[in-house]
Amino acid sequence: MNYADIKKYDIANGVGVRVSLFVSGCRHHCKGCFNQEAWDFTYGKPFTAAVIEEILTALKPDYIRGLSLLGGEPLDPKNQQDVLLLLRRFKKEFPDKTVWCYTGYDFEADLLPLKIGDEHILSEILRSLDVLVDGKFIEALKSKDLRFRGSSNQRILDVAASLSAGKAVLLPGNWNIEH
């Protein structure tokens, strides 16, 4: 896996100050995507053990609320193994911090039935996430008034509640409305 960027003090991609990893590679190719250069799986730099250590070090301060995974597409089959390696280390070292993941896949149609990539890897990734922002970016539904998402079709999901219910469960709060 390659990655496009690491933001060590991000407040735009989840609640609180977060460390955000922008992976490379995406097959969705959403019109108007803010990160088109990251569609290419070879864009950026190689994701190595040293990069994982850099991310974990950046997550150490108490004011960092957690990790956000964006893209490209973090849940693409080509990225799943490396994303899982990072999540295993993150959960072990920071059990009280949260993981937000942004994906163009739909929770019920693609992720819940484990249709994307290796079902065992995807299942473990999903169980490691706290919040999932799902759905392709749709330029016609774009609004600057949305919190933590680009278009109004995208949902902010409570992953544990969604997995338990067997359907998408919105994160409690006013995240899923325009402000």
Kindly report, residue by residue over 54-98, the tens digit of the pLDDT: 999 999 999 999 999 999 999 999 999 999 999 999 999 999 999
Residue 40 has what pLDDT? 92
Residue 122 has what pLDDT? 98
State the Cα–Cα distance between residues 131 and 115, nearest whole angstrom.
Answer: 19
Counting residues of the chain whose pLDDT is more than 90, the rounded percentage is 84
Confidence of residue 39 (pLDDT cuts 50, 70, 90): confident
Residue 177 has what pLDDT? 60
Q: Is 49 left (phi over 0), alpha (psi -120 to 50) or beta?
A: alpha
Residue 179 has what pLDDT? 45
Residue 178 has what pLDDT? 54
Residue pLDDT, tens place only, 100-144? 999 999 999 999 999 999 999 999 999 999 999 999 998 999 988
Number of CB atoms found within 10 A of residue 19's CB: 26
Q: What is the DSSP string of 26-67?
A: -S---TT-TTGGGGSTTSSEE--HHHHHHHHHHT-STTEEEE
Q: For residue 148, which amino acid is it?
A: F
Confidence of residue 33 (pLDDT cuts 50, 70, 90): confident
- Domain ranges across the chain: 2-165
CATH architecture of 2-165: Alpha-Beta Barrel (3.20)
- Selection from 179, 3, 29 nearest residue 104 by Cα: 29
Residue 176 has what pLDDT? 59
Residue pLDDT, tens place only, 146-168? 889 999 999 999 999 999 999 99
State the Cα–Cα distance between residues 77 and 90, nearest whole angstrom.
Answer: 20
Q: Angle between the 77-93 and 49-58 helix axes, to the nearest 10 degrees?
A: 50
